[in-house]
Amino acid sequence: MKNGIVTALIGFAAGCGGFLLLFKLLFLDRIPPSDELAPGIVVALAIAAGASTSALLTRWRHRGERTREQH
Protein backbone atom coordinates (compact mmCIF):
# COMPACT_ATOMS: atom_id res chain seq x y z
CA MET A 1 0.00 0.00 0.00
CA LYS A 2 2.77 2.45 0.85
CA ASN A 3 4.47 1.81 -2.48
CA GLY A 4 1.31 2.87 -4.30
CA ILE A 5 1.14 6.13 -2.37
CA VAL A 6 4.83 6.82 -2.97
CA THR A 7 4.42 6.10 -6.69
CA ALA A 8 1.46 8.46 -6.87
CA LEU A 9 3.29 11.24 -5.03
CA ILE A 10 6.41 10.87 -7.18
CA GLY A 11 4.28 10.91 -10.33
CA PHE A 12 2.39 13.97 -9.17
CA ALA A 13 5.58 15.85 -8.31
CA ALA A 14 7.23 14.87 -11.59
CA GLY A 15 4.18 15.89 -13.62
CA CYS A 16 3.75 19.25 -11.88
CA GLY A 17 7.45 20.03 -11.90
CA GLY A 18 7.90 19.02 -15.51
CA PHE A 19 4.95 21.08 -16.66
CA LEU A 20 6.05 24.15 -14.72
CA LEU A 21 9.60 23.85 -16.06
CA LEU A 22 8.43 23.55 -19.65
CA PHE A 23 5.99 26.42 -19.19
CA LYS A 24 8.76 28.61 -17.80
CA LEU A 25 11.15 27.75 -20.62
CA LEU A 26 8.66 28.01 -23.49
CA PHE A 27 5.91 30.48 -22.61
CA LEU A 28 6.70 32.64 -19.59
CA ASP A 29 8.64 35.32 -21.46
CA ARG A 30 5.68 35.87 -23.85
CA ILE A 31 3.09 36.56 -21.14
CA PRO A 32 2.88 40.16 -19.92
CA PRO A 33 3.25 40.74 -16.16
CA SER A 34 -0.13 42.51 -16.09
CA ASP A 35 -1.99 39.32 -17.06
CA GLU A 36 -3.78 38.16 -13.90
CA LEU A 37 -5.45 35.11 -15.43
CA ALA A 38 -2.26 33.29 -16.36
CA PRO A 39 -1.08 32.17 -12.88
CA GLY A 40 -4.37 30.49 -12.06
CA ILE A 41 -4.49 28.67 -15.38
CA VAL A 42 -0.88 27.57 -15.05
CA VAL A 43 -1.47 26.14 -11.57
CA ALA A 44 -4.62 24.35 -12.71
CA LEU A 45 -2.80 22.85 -15.70
CA ALA A 46 0.16 21.84 -13.51
CA ILE A 47 -2.19 20.02 -11.12
CA ALA A 48 -3.89 18.29 -14.06
CA ALA A 49 -0.52 17.27 -15.51
CA GLY A 50 0.59 15.97 -12.13
CA ALA A 51 -2.59 13.99 -11.62
CA SER A 52 -2.40 12.42 -15.08
CA THR A 53 1.27 11.53 -14.65
CA SER A 54 0.48 10.02 -11.25
CA ALA A 55 -2.33 7.94 -12.73
CA LEU A 56 -0.12 6.73 -15.59
CA LEU A 57 2.71 5.73 -13.25
CA THR A 58 0.32 3.93 -10.90
CA ARG A 59 -1.25 2.04 -13.81
CA TRP A 60 2.20 1.16 -15.19
CA ARG A 61 3.30 -0.09 -11.78
CA HIS A 62 0.21 -2.29 -11.37
CA ARG A 63 0.65 -3.72 -14.86
CA GLY A 64 4.22 -4.69 -13.96
CA GLU A 65 3.01 -6.44 -10.80
CA ARG A 66 0.45 -8.46 -12.77
CA THR A 67 3.10 -9.48 -15.31
CA ARG A 68 5.42 -10.69 -12.53
CA GLU A 69 2.61 -12.72 -10.93
CA GLN A 70 1.92 -14.55 -14.20
CA HIS A 71 5.53 -15.73 -14.60
Best CA proximity match to 52, nearest among 3, 24, 19, 4: 19
pLDDT, tens only, 16-67 = 999 999 998 998 888 787 876 678 888 999 999 999 999 999 888 877 666 6
Q: Where are the domains of the chain?
A: 2-70
Q: How much is the average pLDDT of 3-8?
A: 84
**pLDDT value, residue 66:** 65
Confidence of residue 1 (pLDDT cuts 50, 70, 90): low
Q: What pTM was estimated for this model as a whole?
A: 0.73
